[in-house]
């Protein structure tokens, strides 16, 4: 793979989507062929799976099925978009990736972590993030940003979201070579400045 891969991770309301779009725009201004993607999503099939996963009216989805649906959406995105973009030497910025499945379905729902990591490695063996920016925000604070219309995942209890955040912090401790923790500021421009500094430090 000739290109480079940046992922943004974080609990609900951390501002990943906004910061990812701003980052991709900034990288383009510096001459990179950069694209911004979100997970689950990014292809027609993956977006359909996203709607099922996030819709509160969806039939009850068991933890194993939920994990496999996220993996299916990722497999399609890898095949259609991420691998081709990286082979062309493009820079890919993605809102969530495998780490999200590990913490949301593993730490959060109790799906076996070794199984998630095994399936994840099978799907993404040739594509690993060069850099993962973890936007760390307190659970209650993050959920308050989401408003009243919460999706199927957002409406889960605080105990669930606390397990997710703990999972992220443990992953960051396990992978210090690629994880950088940033505390988001109220002003999205200040947060973006912090992210750009990290990008420069990593040689982008």
CA nearest to 99, candidates 34, 10, 188: 10
* Domain spans in the chain, listed from the N-terminal domain onward: 4-201
**Beta-sheet strands, E only, within the chain:** 4-9, 34-38, 91-95, 131-135, 179-182
Report the alpha-carbon distance of residue 84 to residue 71 in Å, rounded: 19
pTM of the model: 0.95
Residue-wise pLDDT tens for the chain (204 aa)? 689 999 999 999 999 999 999 999 999 999 999 999 999 999 999 999 999 999 999 889 999 999 999 999 999 999 999 999 999 999 999 999 999 999 999 999 999 999 999 999 999 988 999 999 999 999 999 998 887 789 999 999 999 999 999 999 999 999 999 999 999 999 999 999 999 999 999 988
Report the alpha-carbon distance of residue 158 to residue 72 in Å, rounded: 27
**Beta-sheet strands, E only, within 4-63:** 4-9, 34-38
Rounded to 5°, the CA angle 10-42-37 comes to: 45
Tokens 């809102």 sit on residue = 95
Q: Is the dihedral of CA 170, 39, 13, 176 positive or negative?
A: positive
Which class is 4-201 in CATH? alpha beta
């Amino acid at each position: 793979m000739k290109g480079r891969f940046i992922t943004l991770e974080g609990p609900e309301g951390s501002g990943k989507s906004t910061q990812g779009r701003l980052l991709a725009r900034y990288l383009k201004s510096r001459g990179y062929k950069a694209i911004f993607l979100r997970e689950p999503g990014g292809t027609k099939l993956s977006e359909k799976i996203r709607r099922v996963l996030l819709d509160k009216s969806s039939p009850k989805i068991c933890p194993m099925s939920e994990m496999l649906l996220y993996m299916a959406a990722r497999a399609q995105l890898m095949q259609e978009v991420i691998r081709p973009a990286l082979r062309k030497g493009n820079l890919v910025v993605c809102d969530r990736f495998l780490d999200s499945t590990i913490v949301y379905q593993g730490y959060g729902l109790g799906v076996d972590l070794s199984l998630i990591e095994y399936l994840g490695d099978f799907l993404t063996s040739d594509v690993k993030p060069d850099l993962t920016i973890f936007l760390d925000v307190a659970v209650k604070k993050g959920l308050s940003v989401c408003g009243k219309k919460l999706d199927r995942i957002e409406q889960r209890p605080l105990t669930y979201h606390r397990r997710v955040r703990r999972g992220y912090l443990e992953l960051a401790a396990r992978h210090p070579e690629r994880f950088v923790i940033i505390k988001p500021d109220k002003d999205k421009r200040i947060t973006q400045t912090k992210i750009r500094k990290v990008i420069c430090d990593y040689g982008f």
